Every structure is written in C-alpha cells, then in structure tokens.
C-alpha cells in the first residue's frame, strides 16, 4: 500500500542520503531510509530483549529467588 503525501525536506540532506544509500530518486531514498530505521530499531529491541532474558536467567545464580519472592524480603 502506498500513500501520496507532500513534505518539506532538506534538499542537502536528501542528496547526501541518495549518495549514501545509492538510490536515484527521492522516493527510493526515503523508503530505504525508513526500511533501515525500522530494521535497526527492531534488531536493537530484539538484542535488548535477549540481554534482558539472559540477565533474568542468571538471577538464580546471583540471588536467592525464594527470599526475593517471600515476605522476608520486605521486612
């Protein structure tokens, strides 16, 4: 699905992006930039989630989870 829209854009930045991304048109450049932004963000979130899961899995080695879950923890 595509949507037609009008935006004001920094032409110098667009030209730099065209060269960097090796795209010939504004549309192709913007679509590639959006694709890269989404993929990068999704990959970073996945990496962060994996690190969090790994950390949580290691908590049993670092703390007594039974105490943390008990009333004793809050005395």
Position 75 scores a pLDDT of 67
Find tokens 């930045």 and name the residue.
13
What one-character DSSP code corresponds to residue 70? S
- pLDDT tens digits, one per residue of 22-69: 999 999 999 999 999 999 999 999 999 999 999 988 887 888 878 778
70 has pLDDT over 90: no
How many angstroms separate the CA atoms of 55 and 39, rounded? 24
pTM over 0.75: no
How many angstroms separate the CA atoms of 20 and 44, rounded? 22
């Amino acid at each position: 699905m595509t949507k037609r829209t009008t935006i004001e854009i920094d032409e110098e930045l667009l030209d730099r992006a065209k060269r960097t991304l090796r795209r010939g048109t504004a549309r192709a450049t913007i679509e590639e930039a959006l694709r890269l932004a989404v993929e990068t963000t999704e990959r970073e979130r996945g990496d962060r989630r994996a690190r969090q899961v790994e950390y949580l899995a290691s908590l049993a080695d670092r703390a007594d989870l039974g105490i943390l879950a008990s009333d004793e923890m809050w005395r």
